Each structure stands twice: as structure tokens, then as C-alpha cells.
Amino acid sequence: MKNLIVPCLVVLYLFVAWGCDQRITPSERNGHFLQGASVKNLDNDSVVVEAKVKRNDTVLTTALIRIKNDTLKYVDSSYLKSYPAADSIPQGSYHLRLTDPGIRDDSVSFYQPADFSIYSIVPDTRLNPGGSRQVKISWLTSAGSNGYAFGVIRRDLIYHATGFKQFVTTGTTSVTIPPDAFRLSGNLDTGWYYIYVYAYYGAPIASHNLPTSFPTGIDPNIARFNFTGSWGAITVTQRDSMYITTLP
């Protein structure tokens, strides 16, 4: 009988352990799911903190979400807090606090990357006939950031359309903008373009306060028991520009 007890206990242990692993597998359908970002935009001197929350795959409209001592307001599927000045959220560490009354009280820590700027653009005349010249931009380091992306959009479409956006994968603070950035319609799109650099921390997902979209592809960074998702911060430079003309 003793010889049978040990194998049975081993089998029972493995069964329980397997069951526990199954229960903690991160899932949008299980528990609370958070997506969003703090977007600090130096070009329009503002900050917008945006969060989307689901509970068991259903949009949650009754949560209490706070940053610093401020409460985000639920508006049209998102919790939002707007600040009229970029220095309202200085560089540094913050917590986004989520309370679902009677069910969950949790927080997500993040870092708002430092202010920074584009300091060089080539050609420095900001004229690019036919979009045929390479456009290279360089920027200062943003302390506290995990990486950079850049966005290019026609001047008349900022904040209203998806322009060209791409992560910077070279590990440097400069990038050459590909000609495709000026040909999103399939043909050469002439006129003034605005160029921005985004410093990011974590896994931000944002749809507010960006002059053009932020690229996708960062893995989710929240994976707790019954609490998953993607959260981070973005700091946007002031714009630079380039004028694309037809060939002479």
C-alpha cells in the first residue's frame, strides 16, 4: 500500500500544478485588461492620459482610474485626462491606479521619457524635389525612454489621418526617412510634411494627442493574475518639416 501512495501523490501534484498553470494564463477574456498611454506632446504643449479597460472581455465603464491625484473621466470608450501644458507631467516615475469597486484595486508603474528635440535635418534647405533626396533626421537623447519611433504626415492631415510611422531599430538617435513616407497614396504626394520623433517607455497604445499614429508591434507588458494588457508613455518632439516638390 505504501508503494502505491507515493505515485498517487505525484500524479495528484502534477494534476494540480497543471490546473494552476491553466488558470494564470494571461487572457483578455479573463479578469481585467488594460490598454493605453500617457502622451506628452511638446508640439502642442499638452498631455493626454488615455486608458481603455475591459473586465472579462466587456468594456468597463465604472472603474476609478487615477494618475497623481487626478481622476480620468470616461468618455466614448476611453478614460481620459487632459492637461493644457506639457510640463504638467514632467519626466519621471508615475503610477496609474485602477479601482474596480469591490473587485480589484491595482496599479501600473511607468516612466514618462524626458523632453527632447530634433536638432538636424538633411537637406537643411527643407526642399526635396520629387522626394528623391534622402531625408535624414537626428535628435537628442530622451532619458528614461526604451526606444524611439518617428512619424511623417502631410501638414494638412496632422491629428486627422494616419501618416507614415516606423520604429527606429538602429539603436541610434538618427534615421533616414524612406521615400515611401511621401508616397502613401502610391504616387508622389507634394506639399509640406511635418516630421516628429516619439520617445517611448513600456508598451504604449494611444489614439489621442498624436499628430500621426504610433507604430504597433510592442509585446504586452502587463501579465499578472487576472490583470493583463499594454501600458506605457510617449513623449513627442516639436515638429520639423520638409517640402516635397515635383521634379523641375
Residue 237 lies in a domain: yes
pLDDT of residue 21: 33
Residue 71 lies in a domain: yes
Residue 4 lies in a domain: no
Residue 15 lies in a domain: no
Residue 247 lies in a domain: yes
Distance of alpha carbon 177 from alpha carbon 52, whole angstroms: 32
Tally of structural domains, the chain: 1
By C-alpha distance, which of 216, 175, 230 is closest to 197?
175
Tell me how far apart the 2 most distant CA atoms of the chain are, in Å: 95
Average pLDDT, the chain: 89
By C-alpha distance, which of 227, 244, 229 is closest to 36?
229
Whole domain around residue 220: which residue ranges?
A: 26-248
Would you place residue 199 in the very low, low, confident or very high pLDDT band (cuts 50, 70, 90)?
A: very high
Query: pTM of the predicted model, to two decimals?
Result: 0.87
Please determine, for residue 130, whether its predicted confidence score (pLDDT) is greater than 70: yes
- For the chain, give the percent of residues with pLDDT over 90: 83
Residue 118 lies in a domain: yes
By C-alpha distance, which of 208, 227, 205 is closest to 76?
208
pLDDT of residue 29: 64
Q: Which residue has the higher pLDDT, 157 or 24?
A: 157
Residue 182 lies in a domain: yes
Amino acid at 246: T
pLDDT of residue 170: 87
Please determine, for residue 192, whether its predicted confidence score (pLDDT) is greater than 90: yes
pLDDT of residue 168: 97
- pLDDT of 9-67, one tens digit each? 443 333 333 333 333 344 556 699 999 999 999 999 999 999 999 999 999 999 999 99
Residue 30 lies in a domain: yes
